[in-house]
């Protein structure tokens, strides 16, 4: 399936092709900036928004994206920044000094914050008001599904990074006992109920479709148990980035030290 990309540069068309290829994997929700990096295309705000606008209007993208466009168009740092805005912003009301929301330890420059504000406005999460920004009236729609959470997988040996739908996906790929249990469940047709909070209807329908006995797509989950794999995670439980390093199927590093994780069956 070739993207309809007459408005894009040759390099941007390559980025869209990478996104479409990744999104055909049910467990991947690769972002624009991750695909740009893999394509060797330098990141620029103009290019990112042009690709985002293309995705917003392309029927092929609409079929492949199972979450809101923000899940794919925002960088992971911008998602963390959006969560800071939600903590600090009155509704209705002006967001006071958004450039000082991030802690110094985040290392975000003023230019990066300005770019995040611009992108969040372009997405429709923010709107300009009285020389500043405020939450859009319908901002709550951005909290459906995966919202502003992310679960990024980094494969150093492959120079590749991409987001997954949840942290469990990472351990299914990188931890053999977890992988074997998940594949046994898939083979037995005993996957848990997919409907509920945090699931978009498109994701629910996609999971049910590939879970049928006649379709073995989920049984072909990528196997990274023999290499180094890193999870950068910012889920509902913490704003601070959690980093877990798996080396040949074993946990090699967890940051911060206070992070909790389960090793059942491991």
Q: Which CATH number fits domain 74-143: 2.40.50.140, 2.60.15.10, 3.20.20.10, 1.10.10.10?
A: 1.10.10.10
Burial environment of residue 137 by CB neighbours within 10 A (0 to 12, 13 to 18, 19 or more)? exposed
Model confidence, pTM: 0.86
With contact defined as beta carbons under 8 Å apart, do 11 and 48 qualify?
Answer: no
Query: pLDDT digits over 172-182, tens only?
Result: 999 999 888 88
Lowest-pLDDT range of 21-25, 125-129, 195-199, 224-228: 195-199
3-class SS of residue 135: strand
Domain ranges of the chain: 10-72, 74-143, 150-255
**CA–CA gap between residue 10 and residue 266 (Å, rounded):** 46
**pLDDT tens sequence across 223-237:** 999 999 999 998 776
């Amino acid at each position: 399936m070739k993207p309809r990309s007459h408005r894009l540069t040759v390099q941007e068309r390559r980025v869209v092709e990478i996104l479409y290829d990744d999104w055909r994997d049910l467990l991947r929700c690769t972002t624009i900036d991750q695909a740009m990096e893999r394509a060797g295309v330098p990141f620029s705000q103009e290019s990112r928004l042009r690709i985002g606008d293309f995705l917003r209007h392309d029927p092929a993208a609409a079929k492949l994206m199972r979450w809101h466009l923000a899940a794919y168009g925002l960088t992971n740092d911008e998602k963390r920044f959006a969560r800071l805005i939600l903590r600090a912003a009155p509704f209705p009301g002006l967001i006071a000094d958004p450039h000082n929301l991030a802690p110094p330890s985040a290392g975000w420059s003023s230019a990066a914050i300005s770019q995040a504000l611009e992108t969040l406005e372009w997405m429709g999460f923010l709107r300009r008001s009285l020389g500043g920004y405020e939450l859009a009236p319908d901002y709550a729609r951005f909290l459906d599904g995966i919202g502003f959470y992310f679960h990024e997988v980094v494969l150093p040996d492959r120079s590749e990074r991409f987001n997954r739908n949840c942290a469990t996906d990472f351990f299914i790929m990188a931890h053999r006992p977890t992988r074997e249990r998940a594949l046994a469940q898939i083979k037995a047709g005993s996957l848990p109920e997919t409907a509920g909070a945090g699931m978009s209807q498109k994701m629910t329908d996609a999971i049910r479709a590939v879970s049928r006995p006649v379709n073995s797509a989920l049984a072909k989950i990528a196997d990274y148990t023999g290499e180094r794999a890193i999870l950068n995670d910012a889920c509902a439980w913490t704003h601070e980035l959690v980093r877990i390093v798996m080396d040949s199927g074993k946990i090699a590093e967890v940051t911060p030290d206070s992070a909790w994780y389960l090793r059942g069956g491991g």
